[in-house]
Amino acid sequence: MDRRKFIQRGGQFVGAAVLGGAAWRVFAGKDPESEFSQPTGPYVWRINQEKCTYCGLCETACVRKPSAVKAVNDQTKCSYCVGCYGHLADFNIASELIDSQGVKVCPYNAVIRKEFTGGKDGYFTYTIDQAKCTACGKCAKRCNELGTKSMFLIIRPDLCIGCNRCSIMAVCPKDAVELAHSYPEDDYRGNFDLDQMLKNQADGKGGAA
């Protein structure tokens, strides 16, 4: 797929799954890794992306260990760069050496770089390994300060136990954790699956995976 077509297709997803700047994305499928079937009530805790500064407290303040907060990368905003600010800490390296020798932003190597098209100087997708992510926020902070703001943190409702008073909300210095309405027929999942999005669009099912 050439660059223009790729971007055009990606652009068709913009807005399809975004709830007005909300902190999560709505998906149709069930997450097989779900430990809980949240939300059970009409509201869920969410992170307001307009307020969050990726201070790092979400990693430790959640009552769940590891945190119910995870980083995600919105593929509709990502530029698919050879070098990603959220993935690579030092850009002074050849493309073909990034994966093997590049200095990574994530302490746990949870940001996954995958060639999409065009070879070593082409286009790459970046996704977050949810099992490795601790919600330290380092990748999202760099992406928001230097990149396209496609990486951010979410409270995954399938991992959140729905505390009456969210302990992250209690300590957040930016007042970024909010209650938001949810709908019983919705299922929530915190990462964009580019391949599934493209497949759904080709099948005429819209953008959500």
Site residues (vs ligand SF4, CB under 6 A):
45, 47, 52-55, 57-58, 62-64, 68, 71, 105-106, 108, 110-111, 128, 133-140, 153, 155, 160-163, 166-168, 172-174, 176-177
Tell me whether residue 5 or residue 165 sits nearer to ligand SF4 (CB atom): 165
In whole angstroms, the minimum distance from the beta carbon of 2 to ligand SF4 comes to 30
Q: How many CB atoms lie within 10 A of CB 10?
A: 20
Tell me whether residue 135 or residue 198 sits nearer to ligand SF4 (CB atom): 135
In whole angstroms, the minimum distance from the beta carbon of 206 to ligand SF4 comes to 27
- How far apart CA 24 and CA 21 sit, in angstroms, is 9
In whole angstroms, the minimum distance from the beta carbon of 11 to ligand SF4 comes to 25
89 to each of 92, 156, 207, how far by Cα in Å?
9, 27, 31
CA nearest to 40, candidates 140, 162, 135: 162
Cis preceding linkage at 66, omega within 30: yes
Q: How far is CA 154 from the centre of its chain?
A: 7
Q: How many CA atoms lie within 13 A of 71 on its CB side?
A: 34
Answer whether 38's CB lies under 8 Å from 167's CB.
no
In whole angstroms, the minimum distance from the beta carbon of 83 to ligand SF4 comes to 16
Tell me whether residue 12 or residue 34 sits nearer to ligand SF4 (CB atom): 34
Tell me whether residue 46 or residue 200 sits nearer to ligand SF4 (CB atom): 46
- The runs of H, that is alpha helices, within 32-191 are 57-61, 98-101, 138-146, 167-171
Listed in order, strand segments (DSSP E) in the chain are 25-27, 43-47, 69-73, 111-117, 123-128, 151-155, 177-181, 187-189
Tell me whether residue 47 or residue 197 sits nearer to ligand SF4 (CB atom): 47
In whole angstroms, the minimum distance from the beta carbon of 33 to ligand SF4 comes to 16
Tell me whether residue 57 or residue 197 sits nearer to ligand SF4 (CB atom): 57
In whole angstroms, the minimum distance from the beta carbon of 74 to ligand SF4 comes to 14
